[in-house]
Each structure stands twice: as C-alpha cells, then as structure tokens.
Amino acid sequence: MPGKKPLLHRFHAWRYKHISKTTFVYLLSAMTGLLAGLGAVLIKNITHVIQNLLEGGLVENYRYGFYFLFPIIGLAITVLIVKFVIRNPMSHGVPATLRAISKRKGLLRNYQAYASLITAPITVGFGGSVGLESPTVVTGAGMSSYLSRIFHMDQAHRTLLLGCAAAGAMSCIFKAPIAAIIFAVEVFSLDLTLLSLMPLLLASLSAILTSYFFFGSDTILPFTLKDAFSIEDFPYYIILGIVAGLVSVYFSKAYFQTQKFYARWQSVTLRLIIAGGSLGVLLYFIPPLYGEGFDMINQLLEGKAVPALGSTFFNDYLDNIWVVIGLLAGLVFFKVIAAAITFAGGGIGGIFAPVLFMGSVMGNCLAKVVNNLGIAGIQVSESNFTLVGMTGLMAGVLHAPLTAIFLIAEITGGYGLFIPLMTTAALAYGINKYFLPHSVYGMELGLKGELITHDKDQAVLTLLNVESVIESNFIRVRPEMTLGEMVKNAVAKSARNLFPVVNEDDELVGVITLDDIREIMFDSALYDTTEVRSLMHAAPEYIYLESDSAKAVMRKFQESGAWNLPVIKNGKYHGFISKSKLLTAYRRMLVSFSRK
C-alpha cells in the first residue's frame, strides 16, 4: 500500500501508546537474558564439537603432538577469520563492553554480536588456554546493543541492558543467578536500585531457564559440600586469603607483562608464529594448561590431584606428594602466562576460566602443603580449600569480592563455607587493591581515566565527551602581525575577548586577551611599531585532546584558575574550552546519570 509506514515504525507507535517505558525495559531485559543464554549455549556447544572432533581417533595416538600443534592451528584460523571475515579489530569480552559504556555511550558495533561466537570456540576448542565466559558476555552485550539501537533506548537504559547481558551470560554458564546479578553490578558499576534490580533479575532468570532447557541440571562445576567449616581452620583460611591476594597481584602483572613482551613484534604473522610456538611448547610440557581447565578443577574437587595432572614427564615421581605439590605450584605460575600468550597470538577468549583454574589449583596446593608439613593434629579440607581458593583469586584479580563469594556459595548449594569465603575474598581483594588500583578488566581504561566506577562524580566525568564542549569561533592572529592589523582584522570582527596566536603551521605559540591590549589598542602611534609577538603570553595551561580525560581537564581548570584553556590536537591549535560550558555539560550529564 503506497505511503504505508515500515513495520518497525508502526510497532514503535503502538508501543508508545500501549506499553509504558518501564514495562518495555522489563521485556527487553528478559529478551536480553534469553539471547545471552542462547549465545552461551551456542559458544559452549560449538567448542565441545571442535574438542570432540580433535580428540577423536585421529589424534589419540599422537597426544603430545596434539598439545603442541593444534593450539597453533587454532590461533592461525582465528587470526584469518578476524582479518578476512570480521574485518575489524577485536577486543576481549568484558573490557570491550566496559569501553562501550565509557566511550561509546553503551553502543557496541554490530559485528561484536557474532564475532566472538565464531572465534572463541575455535581458540578454546583447539586448546587455547583461555575461557569462554567473556566472549559469551560480549556476544550477549552485542545483541543487547542492537536491541537498544532498534528500539531507541537512551544511554542509561543501554548501559542497563549491557549489564543484563552480562548477568544473563553468567547465569546461564554457572547456573548461579544471584552471583550473575552481583557480577553485573560489581564489574559494570551499575547502581543497584529497584529500577535496575528488576531488569537484572529478569535477565538472569530467563538465562538460567535457557540453561536448564538445553543443559538440564548439569553444571560446569558440580559439587556437594562434604566437609563442614571448622573454626579451628580459620587461621589457615586467613593464610589462604593472603596467598590469594599475592597470587592475584602476580596474575595481573604477569598477564600484562607477557602481552607487552609479545607486542614487540608488530607483524601479525610473526607474532602469531612466535606466540603460537611458545604456547605449543608450554602445552607440550604442561598438558593441564590445555583449554579452559574445568575438567581439572572438578577432579581436584573430587580429591583426584594425580589423575588431574594427566600424563606428564614426571609420571614416575607422582607417588611423592611434594612432586605433586611442585607440579601444582607450576600450574599456578604458568597458567596466566599461557592465557596471555594465547591472547598475544591473536586468540579470542576470556580470563574468567583461567582465574578459576589458578584459584582452584592454588587452594588445593596450599591445603596439601598444610596437610603434609607433619604437624600433628593439622588436617584441612582440600576440596574446601580448592573452592575457597577460586573465591580468593577471583576477588583479587577481578575486584569482584561479592561475585566471588556468591558464585561459590551458589555452586555449593548452600552457605556452609560463607565465613571462609568472606574472609578469603576480603583479604585477597584488599591486598590486590593496595598494589593495583584497577582490575584486569578495567586496567587499560582505568589508567586513562576512562573507566566507569561506582563513584558518581568520576563516572560522570568519564562519560563526558570533552570534544563536545570545544569552541572554535576564535579569530586567529599571527605573531608577526602588527597591533593595527590585529585591531582591524581580529578585534573589530570578533565577539570574543580572546585570540589564539598561531604560526604558519597552525601551532599555538601564545594567546592574547583584550585586557592585554586594552590600554594601547586605541593608540594609533603604536599600530605599526608594535607586533603581536611582543604582546602575547603563554596560556596558563593546555588541554591535549588525545590524552586528557574530562577529569584531567577539570583538574587543569581548578589548578590554573583560568576560565578558558586552549585545546591542542595532533600538535596544532584546535579551539578553546570554557570553564562555564564544561560545568554546564557536567551538570546536564549528572542529571542524566542520576536517572539510572
């Protein structure tokens, strides 16, 4: 029919008339949870299909060669897909979502809804030493971003739906809906109010129902608490918390330093070969580092440490408990390096699984040390230490202590370990926070001052777009101009009382205000003898667009006492920012942010 509006437009008209905004957000949050859950199911199943194909009869007689060769092949395929299919640079899961919140107003690019769905299973399925949780989060976030775009959601609700995607992904993977909600709040710095709680709850609920529909009652970490907490063990959990805190600091530092080391090779191909070869060698000698590592975690929880280590070059010595302890300590040391190398080689995945892996091995290792010191009457639960170790490392590395506590509490089906969980999480988080201001997820953004946090002032400044408050209606003058030329060509034509002085390359060399020339600008005797260069002066401070965050800009205004500061972009003059306009933009953003 001629003139008939598109279906989506007609739907919007119907929605605005019949469905309240709050109700529609609830519907979208449930849909987001469902999509995130479906994304988790697809990623997990595709990964398992790849793993089953590779571990079949084709390679069963070449196990060690498999550990060396297949991770390299997986990285190569992933890099080729990113280059020729995705055709866009890919960031890793949660950091990519945090960047979308802080720098892109809650919008992810469309390809992020499916890119990790393709690449992460290949990376992990071929043995990359990373996890699938972060790719699942960014897949759900990409889908929620698309929904936000087509249904015209504002920035506050776009951010909320990203949190719903994260909650949905974690709820589906771990069957831990409460921990999933807390994860979204802690990691994405959402305000836990009634307005945000209901959407998060609906997303988490729809995702866990999706998990039950496809996976039944199976869980990724099946566990039944057998050893009750004893107050006599409390000092050892304090030791575990301290160890977890120190290991979490090691995790963060080793993770970034390893990636920095491989980033020295600018060529993608060369970096793939070197990182892939390094990973292959590492997995060849330490097979338990292969893949996500949940099988090993479950074996440790069952008390099967020796079978968990698999076939190694130390098989003949595994009857010595201290050899087993040494091998477990080696896994703690090398797992983060293997994960970082996987990323450096072009792999796509997340660090959530490596954190759980390291935490479980660390806890089990420490329990074995305590139990084998030969001190009479001392015997701690290795399975409990394995669980609580995961909590400690997660709290430290991710700066998410509540997520860590409730995730393990929900996995165990009760709160029998609540005291050791809280103790270990608090100590590990406090130690890591003392040494490192940000989590692994937010380190890069945090160091740039671009990370959204629960500090509302900080969050508003992070969301504030500095470029939007730049004013460019200032008439430029040259240093070689005479006073007469400036009065005629600049002062007489400008509505501003400030003039940037630029050279022939458009570089700012100084500024002049009307106050600087007020006493002489009507003295015609000085028009031809006085040059601008003798009147100009340096600005009290400069704003560098590429590096200065809104917080840094605000600080420069405060410290300089100026009302206008020049902006430099790529070394050239770009305009001015006025203090009044910046504060006005801040107030508007604060009002908008407070409506979340």
pLDDT digit string (tens) for 257-309? 998 899 888 888 899 999 988 998 888 888 888 888 888 998 998 888 888 88
Helical residues (DSSP H) of 345-474, grouped into ranges: 352-371, 382-398, 401-412, 418-435, 443-447, 456-463
Answer for the pair 109, 146: CB distance below 8 angstroms, yes or no: no
pLDDT at 212: 92
DSSP class of 563: S
Higher pLDDT, 10 or 33: 33
| pLDDT > 70: percent of the chain | 89
CA–CA–CA angle 318, 245, 448 (5° rounding)? 125
pLDDT at 147: 87
pLDDT at 535: 86
Tens digits of per-residue pLDDT, 434-485?
A: 998 878 876 655 544 544 554 455 555 566 677 778 888 888 989 888 888 8
* Interatomic CA distance for residues 467 and 577, integer angstroms: 9
pLDDT at 1: 44
pLDDT at 330: 92
Sorted by where each begins, the domain ranges of the chain are 7-215, 231-452, 459-594
pLDDT at 592: 59
Q: Give the right CATH number for 231-452 from 1.10.3080.10, 1.10.3720.10, 3.30.1490.120, 1.20.120.80.
A: 1.10.3080.10
CA 187 to each of CA 109, 248, 401, 451, 550: distance values in angstroms, whole numbers, following the listed order: 21, 17, 10, 11, 22
How would you class 193 by CB atoms within 10 Å of its CB: exposed for 0-12, middle for 13-18, buried for 19 or more?
Answer: exposed
Strand, helix or coil for residue 73: helix
CA 338 to each of CA 73, 92, 94, 122, 276: distance values in angstroms, whole numbers, following the listed order: 16, 16, 19, 16, 10
pLDDT at 457: 53
* Interatomic CA distance for residues 29 and 144, integer angstroms: 8
Give the chain's mean pLDDT: 84
pLDDT at 257: 92
Tens digits of per-residue pLDDT, 91-109?
A: 766 777 777 676 666 778 8
* Interatomic CA distance for residues 84 and 412, integer angstroms: 44
User: What is the dihedral angle through the alpha carbons of 49, 51, 57, 63, rounded to the nearest 10 degrees?
Assistant: 180
Residue 373's Cβ-side half-sphere holds a number of Cα atoms within 13 Å equal to 12
Q: Give the right CATH number for 7-215 from 1.10.3080.10, 3.40.630.150, 3.30.470.20, 3.40.50.150.
A: 1.10.3080.10
In the structure, what pLDDT confidence band is assigned to residue 122 with cuts at 50, 70 and 90? very high
User: What is the full DSSP assignment across 172-238?
Assistant: HHHS-HHHHHHHHHHHHT---SHHHHHHHHHHHHHHHHHHHHHHTT--SS-----S---GGGHHHHH
Over residues 423-428, mean pLDDT: 95
Say what the pTM is.
Answer: 0.78
Does the pLDDT at position 361 exceed 90?
yes
Domain covering 459-594 in this structure, CATH number: 3.10.580.10
Tens digits of per-residue pLDDT, 142-193?
A: 898 888 888 878 777 888 888 899 899 999 999 989 999 998 888 777 766 7
Over residues 376-390, mean pLDDT: 88
Of all helices (H) and strands (E), which one includes residue 510?
strand 508-513
Tens digits of per-residue pLDDT, 37-90?
A: 999 999 999 998 888 887 765 555 555 567 778 888 889 999 999 988 888 877
Domains 7-215 and 459-594 share a fold: no
